[in-house]
Structure 1
Amino acid sequence: MLDHLLLSLSLPLFIGLVFSLAFEALLSPRPAPLWHRPMAANVIHLGSWLLLFGLFTLLLQRPWFAVVFVLSLQLVVVQSSNTKSKTLNEPFICHDFEYFWDAILHPRLYVPFFGIGLAIAASSAGAIAIGSFLYVEPSLVSQWSTVLFLQSTGLLAGLGAVLVAVGLRSLGAMSLQPVEDLHRVGLHASLWAYGVALMRSSPPDPLASPYAAASQPSAVASPDSAERPNVVLVQSESFFDPRPWCPEVAPTLLQHFDATFTEAVEKGELSVPAWGANTVRTECAVLTGLAPSAWGARQFNPYRTLSRHPLPSVASAFRAQGYRTICVHPYPATFYMRDNVMPQLSFDTFIDISAFDSSDKHGQYIGDQAVARKVGRLLKDDDNRPLFIFVITMENHGPLHLEAPTQARLAATLPNATWPLADHLRELAVYLHHLGEADQMLANVKTALNERMRPGILGWYGDHVPILPDAYGHFMPPTGSTPYMIWSTQPTPPDQMPAKQPPQDIAANELGLRLFKQVFGHDISNDVIKAEPEPQEQE
């Protein structure tokens, strides 16, 4: 009887496996052919299919229904991977499964990239398929005994789990370069391997942080706090200078940025570990001073680790120097678990979207100028302590295609473009308008710092380039780096004039260290950072 049951399972199992292999050819970029992959990767694919087919047949009691269900899930992953590759230059990895839940909580940030029509069609087709299979295909339990059914499906799932385990043991370590790993081992093997690497990884050692010593309470420096400058560090959403990349952009678009860049005491290009999104990768590097390599497999969403494991940060270093530390982010505090992460990084106060009004919106999100006003009010109410304010803007966050460009704004953004705009210019025009608002925010924050009696330091950088696939396809993609600069309200000594300080290209994890040095006049590792005098010998 068991033989008959296994025979009835073999045809859907085989056909499903063939389609599972064929669906990988839909990936872009496409993985290497089966015969060019390591044998262990093919063993993992076979084991994955047996495991999923066995489990879903056990759950649904209908093998053909299980085949369609599992293949549908694979298609969702394939489509998600293609969309992510197109917009973020990175395929789907194991860490991305949690974003399906985020897509439910924050659909505006995710569903439009997948395609609203496609999402509705897929959901509808899924509902129809479920109903149809439940009605048409008879349950195996009704045809065979429950014991035999459990034995056969359990055997398939168990065999699949063994094959996956054997394959993973022989596969070897991943490079943690998602494009390369997907090409080399295929979708199923890369998902499993990244998941195992994530489970086996450890959080970074707090003592390895460049801010570890300076974050100790005993590290408070001796100068009077009245002499210390207020410090504002702005992570401007999707900020980069598009003019060298696209000659059609108005040369006067970023007037305040140009003036500040000329005056900046430090400036250059910032190498950021993100493209188009994944803001927290850059944000984490800037705040913790740790390069992505220090996180291992946790680098793709380091805030999940930081929500449970605190680390020294540039904020904790400033707090140890007597600063009040504030984070301003005009979006729900729970997104990326920042409500847990920011306290772990030693921010005293976290100001989220609840501190703003609907009238503060400009486009889809809270506008940059509203955020600048908030920063200005914080600088006025400094309770006699210097402030370190870290700002995470939102205005220029995509999806940009949900906004329509207007002809009246083209003179300031794309002065030579004809109306109606060509397809490759529509999202770009929307982006450039909001980029102009970021430029005005820069001027407003500088004014707020200049109006205080206390000196001021402004750090400014972009977290990544924007998502503009049509424009990139037409003009060629930019390098992916973003500008950074550190500007001061204090007069610069002649030997340190900006004209004598050529731009320096740095990595994102170096920016906070550069900022600290500009504020205190020495590297963070300098022995000057000592709160208490050296013990004196007793006579």
Structure 2
Amino acid sequence: MMLLTSLGLALALSLVIEAVEGGSARPVSRRPADLAIRFLGYALVMAFWFQFSWRPWLAGASCVLTILILTIVSRLKRTIIGEPLVFSDFALLRQVPRHPELYYTRPLTDPRMAGPILVALVLVGAWYAIEPTILPVEPSVAVLALFALPLGFLTLVALSAEGPAARASARLFPAPALVADVARFGLPATIIGYALRWRVLRRGESIPPPPRVAPGRDRVLVVVQLESFVDPRRLGGPPLPLMDMVSRRAAQYGRLRVPAHGAYTMRTEHAVLTGRDAGDLGFGLFDPYLTHGGREPESLPARAREAGFETLFVHPFHRDFFNRAEVVTRLGFDRLIMEEAFGDAPRVGPYVSDLALAERVLAEVRGRSTPLFLFCVTMENHGPWKPGRLPGIDDPLSQYLTHVKNTGLAVERLVDGLEGLDAILCVFGDHAPALPNCRPGFGDTATDYAIFRFGPGQAVAPLRRDLSADALGRQLRGCLASDTGA
């Protein structure tokens, strides 16, 4: 009886939390079937905590606190990035203690983080001592009970892969519709449902091998993914000389529709490197690297390698971030140059300067002995932009504009350094910056891109053509064939 009472109270309070957070903008669906799924999500959260203590009121309080925390974090994410929490975000949790500055939080050693965590642990310990367990007294029954809930969760996951449970899950969540599903079923049920659907579809997806590409001429293809890059005039900033150069000198340029706003670099990166539309990824669209781990034989670096190019990935940041080193190696990159190679490189703010990165890219181009495909990811203008980042500049927009000016100079340096070579340079922004004056919906998630062609007979009138990130990736494949240009 005590367990049912605590469960009922936990479900009611969880519903109130989500209803208050959603308000009139995202009202709770009152359809009985939708409410049933929502309450099932809450109940699974409570059951998860209950298995560790067998204390009903502790489990109920943990459930309510979990829903509250998920709701607060999801609201913050919605404000900055434009979408609620999703299952793939939990795979990134291991990165938060390693790189707290990138997740708008503080190190675990900071008293403002360590203090509340220690207080919470003390409270949980005290609650364990005060509330009696309802675990059966008889030892053999107690052991069976302890294993029952974990086995129940494992059974739920196993059943979701096929049969009636899989069909029911597919009816509830036929395709990703994150905002609508959270409004209908609640955040916990949507997170769990999407994770189960992702697991099933990931297991069943097969990726066809790429067609063979003819070997290219002795040329260089350099693709640079510019962190948080958009034309600063769109943010109310001053004109950037690079943008005038683009409109005069680039073979092709325009707006680039990318799969996210303010974050999720890997979505745009994956779209360009594979040419796959986010809509074709199903529930894997939220984190394509988590879904495939780089096992995509039709990727741009794999095709470049097939065409006789050396493939090189350059990024002046940690190899473990997004599990990038492992993923890009599977994608087809022969060689990686990452943070450890930039130990003495100058920094602007906390990260390696874009100009220093451009010089390293040009050094690799000059030192090549074969056709080269080089994919570079910049880091200087990564958020958050907050006081103390740059001396004498505390305003977030001013910090961003300072960095984006350096990005422009770095691209100009690449253009100058590639002049006279049989080379192609493509630059593009991965997503718009998460700035106070650049919130979700800005520019329909569009950034900017440009393709420059160098060498004899490559002078053409600039072409303005807006693209999606995956379409840009497909176009870049043509640069690998012997009889094509950009």
Q: TM-score, normalised by structure 1?
A: 0.79
Q: Which residue of 1 aligns with 2:30?
A: 35
Q: Gapped runs of 5+ residues in structure 2?
A: none
Partner of 1:256: 242
Q: 1:493 to 1:103 in 2, by over 3 A?
A: closer
1:194-222 deviation per Cα after TM superposition (whole angstroms, max 9, x unaligned): 01210111375432x7xx1145xxx335x
What's the counterpart of residue 240 of structure 1?
230
Q: Does 1:514 align with 2:483?
A: no
Distance 2:456 2:194 in 1: 51
Distance 1:266 1:472 in 2: 26
1:103 aligned residue: 96
Q: Counterparts of 1:164-313 in structure 2 under 5 Å?
A: 169=168, 171-202=171-202, 205-207=206-208, 212-215=210-213, 219-221=214-216, 225=217, 228-243=218-233, 245-247=234-236, 249-251=237-239, 254-307=240-293, 309-313=295-299
How far apart, in 2, do the equivalents of 1:77 and 1:319 lie?
43
* Preserved contact between residue 26 and residue 78 of structure 1 (Cα < 8 Å): no
Q: Aligned residue for 2:402?
A: 433
Give the drift of 1:346: 1.5
Post-superposition offset of 1:377: 1.2
Letter in 2 for 1:442: V
| Structure 1 residue 250 displacement after superposition | 1.7
Among 77, 80, 83, the alignment partner of 1:84 is 77
Change (3 A) 1:42 1:441: same
Where structure 1 has 5 or more consecutive residues not aligned to the other structure, the ranges are: 1-6, 410-420, 525-539
Question: Structure 2 CA distance, aligned partners of 1:233 and 1:400?
Answer: 26
TM-superposition CA deviations, 1:302-342 (whole Å, max 9, x none): 11233262322222222222211101011111221222222
Counterparts of 1:312-327 in structure 2, within 5 Å, are: 312-327=298-313
Displacement of 1:150 = 7.3
What is the 5 A alignment of 1:8-157?
8-27=2-21, 31-36=26-31, 39=33, 41-112=34-105, 119-120=113-114, 122-141=116-135, 145=138
* Post-superposition CA distance 1:151-196 (Å, at most 9, x none): 889899999988x978882752343132222123221221122012
Q: What is the aligned counterpart of 1:467 among 430, 434, 440?
A: 434
Q: Give the secondary-structure state (helix, strand or coil) at the position aligned to 2:442.
A: coil
Whether contact under 8 Å (2:228, 2:429) holds in the other structure is yes
Match of 1:391 in 2: 376
Corresponding letter in the other structure for 1:229: R
Distance 1:27 1:329, change over 3 A: farther
Normalised to the residue count of structure 2, the TM-score between the two structures is 0.87
Counterpart residue type for residue 65 of structure 2: S
Tell me the residue number matched to 2:412: 443
Where 2:10 maps in the other structure, the secondary structure is: helix
- Note closer, same or farther for the CA distance 1:117–1:70 as it changes in structure 2 (3 Å cut): farther
Q: Distance in 2 between matches of 1:467 and 1:135?
A: 45
The aligned residue for residue 330 of structure 2 is 344
Tell me how far apart the structure 1 counterparts of residues 21 and 142 of structure 2 sit (CA, whole Å): 35
1:476 Cα deviation from its structure 2 partner: 8.3
- CA distance in 1 between counterparts of 2:387 and 2:95 reads 19
Larger Rg: 1
Distance in 2 (CA, whole Å) between partners of 1:79 and 1:117 is: 21
1:455 corresponds in structure 2 to 422
**Cα distance in 2, alignment partners of residues 67 and 273 from structure 1:** 38
Would you say the 8 A contact 2:257–2:467 is kept in 1? yes
Query: Is this contact kept in 2: 1:83–1:113, CA < 8 A?
Result: no
Equivalent AA in structure 2 for residue 433 of structure 1: T
8 A contact 2:274–2:474 mirrored in 1: no
How far does residue 103 in structure 1 lie from its aligned partner after superposition?
1.1
Query: Does the 8 Å CA contact 2:45/2:188 hold for their aligned counterparts?
Result: no
Percent identical pairs in the alignment equals: 27
Instruction: Kindly state the Cα deviation for residue 522 of structure 1 after the two structures are TM-superposed.
Output: 5.2
Cα distance in structure 2, aligned partners of 1:139 and 1:464: 50
Return the letter of the residue paired with 1:240. V
Three-state SS of the structure 2 residue aligned to 1:35 is coil
SS in 1 for 2:448: strand
Report if the CA contact (8 A) 2:46-2:63 is conserved: yes
1:487 corresponds to 2:452: yes
* C-alpha contact (below 8 Å) 2:100/2:107 kept by paired residues: no
How many residues are treated as equivalent by the alignment?
475
Any idea what SS the aligned residue of 1:388 has? strand
Contact kept in structure 2, 1:44 and 1:188, CA below 8 Å: no
* Equivalent residue letter for 1:66: A
> What SS does the corresponding residue of 2:79 show, helix, strand or coil?
helix
The root-mean-square deviation of aligned C-alpha atoms, in Å, is 3.3
